[in-house]
Structure 1
Amino acid sequence: MTPPEETGQGITAEAPVAPPAVSLCLQTMRHRPEFLRAASARRQGTGGFLLQARDRKDDAPHVQVGFTASKKIGNAVFRNRAKRRLREVARAVLPGLAQPGWDYVLVARPGATVDRPFALLLADLEAALRAVHAPRSR
C-alpha cells in the first residue's frame, strides 16, 4: 500500500493503488462445442451458480471462460443481468485463482445469481475454484 499524499489543505488522501499485474490471458468461449466439452468435466455447485471446469491438457497459457443463463432464470433482462454479474465475478477472481490450460463455464442459477449479494458470489467462485483444483483422492 502506498503512503498517503498531502493534498495541500492539510487533508491526506490515499494514493491510487495499481491493480495487480495479470499474467493470465482470459478468453471468452463463443461456440457451443467449447461449452459442451467443459460441461462433461468437473462440476462444483455453489449458492449462486454452477462452475464447470475442464483441463484442456495443453500448454496454452490462456484460460477460456464462458457464461450461460437458461430461460429458467427469467426473461432476457434477468438472463442478461445474471451473465453481467457472472462476468464481473470472473474478472475479479479468475486472474488470481485460475490455472492456465483450463476452461471454465459459469452457469447461472434461477433465483440465486441475480439476487445473491455480490460479495457472496465472489466468495462462491473462490471456493469453487479451490475445490475444483484440489487434489482428488481415489
Structure 2
Amino acid sequence: MTPPEAPELGSDASRGTHAPAVLSCPEIRVLKKRAAFLAAARARRQGTGGFLLQARRRGDDDAAIGVGFTCSKKVGNAVARNRAKRRLREIARLILPELGQPGWDYVLIGKAEATAARDFTDLQNDLRYALRKVHGGGR
C-alpha cells in the first residue's frame, strides 16, 4: 500500500483554506535565578486556596512574562512536591498568556495539602482571581 501523495505547494488544493490566525502573546520565561525569586518575594502577593502568588513589575523594557514555581518540604515528599509543581506549571501555561501582564514576574508557591488535592478548575480560578487582585482589578 502506498501513502497518498501530498499536494504540491501552490496547487489548487492548498488554496481552499485560509492560514490560521497567529495570536500575539508575550513570551513566557521560567525564572531560574535565586535573585528573581527574592525580588518577587519583596513585591506584591496574593494568597488563594491552592497556592500563594507573588508578582512584581521588572521595570525593564523586556515584554516577556517571567514565571517561577516553588514548593517547600511542608508540601510533602519529592513526589508530592513535583506533582504540585506540575499542576502549578499547567495552570500558568493556560492562564498567564491571557491574564499575565508583559514585563512582570510571577512566582507560584504551593501550599501543603492544598495544591495537589485541589480541583484543577478551582486552581485555575484561583490564579485568575489572584492576577486580578495583584493588578488592581476587583472581583
Give the TM-score category using the shorter length: 0.7 to 0.9
Label 1:121 to 1:100 Cα distance change in 2 as closer, same or farther (>3 A).
same
Q: Please state which structure has a larger fraction of its residues in strand.
A: 1
Give the secondary structure class of the aligned counterpart of 1:84. helix
- What whole-Å deviation, never above 9, does each CA across 1:80-128 have from its counterpart, x for those lacking one? 0000000000000000000011000000000100000000000000000
What residue ranges of structure 2 are gaps of 5+ in the alignment?
A: 1-19
Distance 1:79 1:128 in 2: 21
Structure 1 stretches of 4+ moved >3 Å: none
**SS of residue paired to 1:72:** helix
Q: What residue number does 1:58 align with?
A: 60
Structure 1 unaligned segments of length 5 or more: list them. 1-17
What amino acid sits opposite 1:24 in the alignment?
P
2:83 to 52, 65, 81: 81
Looking at secondary structure, tell me which structure has more helix per residue: 2
Aligned-residue offset at 1:21? 2.3
Aligned length: 119
CA RMSD of aligned residues (A): 1.8
Residue 111 of structure 1, aligned match among 110, 113, 127: 113
User: In structure 2, do the counterparts of structure 1 residues 19 and 121 end up closer, same or farther at CA, with 3 Å as the change threshold?
Assistant: farther
Q: Is the 8 A contact 1:22 1:95 kept in 2?
A: no
Q: TM-score when scaled to structure 2?
A: 0.81
The higher radius of gyration belongs to 2
